[in-house]
Amino acid sequence: MPAAPTVPRSRNRLLIGLASIAALAAAWFVLTGSGAVGSARFPSPLEFWKAADQIATRGYAGGTLLLQAWHSTRLVVLGFLVAVATGIPLGLLMGWSRRFEALINPAFLLVRPIPPLAWIPLAIVWLGLGDAAKVMVIWFAAFVPSVINAYTGARNIDPVFVAAARVHGASSARVLWEIVIPGSLPMIFTGLRLSLQASWTTLVAAELVGAFYGLGRVLDIAYRDIYPAMIAVAMVTVGVLGALTTQVLVQIEKWAVPWRR
Amino acid sequence: MAAVNRTARPGELLLLTALGAALFFGGWQALAASDLVSKQVLPSPLAVLEAGWTMTQKPFAGNLLQAHILASLQRFAMGFGLAALIGVPLGLVMGRYRVIDDAVSPIFEGLRFIAPLAWVPFAALWFGTGIGGPVMVIFAGAFPPCVINAYRGAQLVETRLVEAAQTLGARNVRIIAEVLLPGALPSIVAGLRVSAGLAWQSLIGAELIVVSAGIGYVMVQGQSNLSPAIVMAGMLAVGAVGLAIDVLLRLAERTVRKRWGHVA
Amino acid sequence: MKNIAFEDVTKVFPRGGGTFTAIERITLDVAEKEFVAIVGPSGCGKTTLMRMAAGLEFPSSGSVSVGGRAVTAPGPDRAVVFQQFALFPWKTVRDNIAFGLKCKGASRAEQDDAVRKYLELMGMQGTEDSFPHQLSGGMQQRVAIARSYAIDPDVLLMDEPFGALDAQTRTVMQEELIRLSRFNPRTVLFITHSVDEAVYLADRVVVLARNPGRIREILDVAATRRAEEWDARAIEEVMDLPSFTGMRTHLWKLLREQIAGTE
């Protein structure tokens, strides 16, 4: 730590990281190849590849990889957008007006501690096993973080800015629109990222419990078929899609909040 | 603190809160009692409470409600405990030794993206309906915040404090145990709070899918019986226990901050 | 007690695309039990010098040795007192002071003895169970100094230890430090901005120039200090003496040249 670095740290870091990934991959090959880990428990790289190929070309559990992925992504985006469109205004209003907050609090505080996944059985009772139930659950999952972060963002606006605006004669509406909302955007985007993560988790869970299509359904069928390679493929796909959608969000944030570092 | 709007008097706020509660529950009750929605779909608040109460007296889905809650808590404790016991030291060590950080980070970041629930099929394959399955899923959910917060906490510990310990003759184990751990404690406890929340959620999720006892199981049975009252009673139980856990950890967080004068 | 020897020390830091030479070819010897103060404008490398003696930084070329052995790591033979106190906020006063002793493996009884001794010395009896945030700045720094003294180091390295204190507390602490070091003399390397402080406390004052850091001048104070018995007088008396003001003015002029850039 104190010594003057001879090799730039970033290069070191990359090498070590690659080395450990390589070690892990090697262990994967060896353990599954030698039979130390039975193929009923964990897929070998070859099996993984075969399963991936199967679902990509011929399809599995009712559709190709593209179809399943598209189905899931569509639901996530839909639920996410609805949640965000309802949650952010609510959160902002609650942060902005203590009166409004007092009014909404009882309902919100009752609903808030209930984990989104706990809504799945109720959603199924109300809406069946179709897409509507999934969207409802995703909405709940993404709604709460959006509200909370919008609320925190609005609540934590430095009163100095509000005072400066009012001193210049700004009406309440203008203060809300030009000070509170832009000022809350960083916190809102943090909430958006959490909401997106929650959306994906909830969707997978909801589809696992019961669905007609989707990556969660693939997971479910693969489990029943005792097909760990396919389970792995579905998991990896979910992870990749999650990362991709998060990246999209990050780019949007960069555009919307240019003043943040 | 931030009076974004003209401050309302506390009396007014209390009134509005009561009004909000009345509107919410009243509306709910009215809607359930009316003929607009069938009782099968929307039970009244009272019906929900009654269903919950009944389950504490008469067994449902194999056991009394209390026993189900206990079963869930046991799994929670195991998964959460494991995550904390492994995650926190790992985070601290990663914060202290760059090499370990560089080696573990890529794997960690990659695995982190996989939703904990996605581990359920594997967990079920490996552990059947035994306790290992849900515990593994809980672990997957609870582990990242423990590590990340311990890691960040260790980094936030003022370098000066580590240097002071070094100049006083402390060696690495002592530095981690007596400087990094206490210094990172506020961050660690905050991470534990987040982790507990995720653990509880993951638990319920796992119980919805693969289990034979616990609150999640109760809800799934309620769903099979098309009994929304039971499902909602289950939801309330889940929310209440989760809330209790959160409140306890919040208290722990506050105690740490107060005792050490808002460290870091 | 040990000496500190800087032998042709250079320290280069990477900065931006290139490098920044903090210190260039400094050779300095701090004799056993000598109190040497280093003054200089910001960026002259004085803190870097101290950190190299402490083993928290290493020279790019040249060597730093304490007691004849090269410095390779921080250790309890070279105690450091930091400007920001660096007390462990989660440990009581007692545990802070006893920390170094604990690392050495001292028994509980030995720790308690040392704690009691130094708290008495500092006039802070009864604060054993307080936490740092409950104490004033001056008291916190006393605890930090006690913590360093408790391990009986051969060398004491002090990095602007009174910089974070208000003016009055600072003056009181300077007097106390004199008292302490006459009671328990050891090799001291003392970094400071303040010319007054340097002249009042030190046997020798080293003035560093910056860009790159090197020795500009070394002033011998010890002779005058002993002749006029400074340590027996009150601080305000000493600072009134013509010998004192003469040295102070001289040093200040040197510093001013550098700050104005007419070096």
Indicate the pTM of the whole model: 0.75
Chain A residues lying within 8 Å of C12, measured CB to CB: 4
Inter-chain contact B235–A122, Cβ cutoff 8 Å? yes
Q: Please name the residue that has the structure tokens 């709460």.
A: A144
Q: How far is C169 from chain A (nearest CA, A)?
A: 33
What is the rounded CA–CA span in Å between residue C77 and residue C74? 8
Q: Please name the residue that has the structure tokens 């509507």.
A: A132
> A260 is written with which tokens?
């943040």
Which tens digits make up the pLDDT trace of C129-176?
998 889 998 899 999 999 998 888 989 999 999 988 888 888 988 988
Q: Complex ipTM, two decimals? A: 0.77
Q: Please name the residue that has the structure tokens 């900065």.
A: C15
What is the rounded CA–CA span in Å between residue C258 and residue C208? 10
> A152 is written with which tokens?
């925190």
Interface check for C86 against chain A (CB to CB < 8 A): the answer is no
Which tens digits make up the pLDDT trace of B180-220?
888 888 888 888 988 998 899 888 888 887 767 788 888 88
B89, B153, B157, B190, C100 from B181: Cα distances, Å: 8, 8, 9, 13, 18
What is the rounded CA–CA span in Å between residue B101 and residue B151? 9
Which tens digits make up the pLDDT trace of C220-257?
999 998 898 888 888 889 999 999 999 999 999 988 88
Find the angle CA(C12)-CA(C16)-CA(C17) to the nearest 5 degrees: 90
Q: What is the DSSP string of B109-122?
A: HHHHTS-GGGGHHH
pLDDT in tens, chain A (261 residues): 334 444 556 677 788 888 888 888 888 777 777 766 666 667 777 888 888 888 888 888 788 888 889 989 999 999 999 999 999 999 999 988 888 888 888 888 888 888 888 888 888 888 887 888 889 999 988 998 889 889 988 888 887 887 887 777 778 787 778 888 888 888 888 888 888 888 888 888 888 777 888 888 888 888 888 888 888 888 888 888 888 898 898 889 888 887 764
Inter-chain contact B167–C131, Cβ cutoff 8 Å? no
Inter-chain contact A114–B238, Cβ cutoff 8 Å? yes
Q: How far is B24 from chain A (nearest CA, A)?
A: 6
Contacts (Cβ under 8 Å, ≥6 apart) of B166: B175, C55, C56, C73, C74, C75
Tell me whether residue C177 is exposed, middle or buried, using C-beta atoms within 10 angstroms of its C-beta: 0 to 12, 13 to 18, 19 or more. buried
What is the rounded CA–CA span in Å between residue A170 and residue A177? 10
What is the rounded CA–CA span in Å between residue A117 and residue A223? 20
> A31 is written with which tokens?
């353990």
What is the rounded CA–CA span in Å between residue B17 and residue B12? 9
Residue of C nearest to B184 (CA): C90
pLDDT reported for residue A5: 42
> C31 is written with which tokens?
């004799």
What is the rounded CA–CA span in Å between residue B239 and residue B231? 12
- Which chains are within 8 Å of A by 3+ CB pairs? B, C
Give me the residue from A107, A116, A238 closest to B118, CB to CB: A238
A–B interface: beta-carbon pairs under 8 A: 184
Task: Report the residue count for chain A.
Answer: 261
Give the strands of the sheet with C78-81, arranged side by side: C78-81, C155-159, C187-192, C35-39, C204-209, C214-220
Are C215 and C28 in contact by the 8 Å Cβ rule? The answer is yes
Is the confidence at residue B154, as pLDDT, over 50? yes
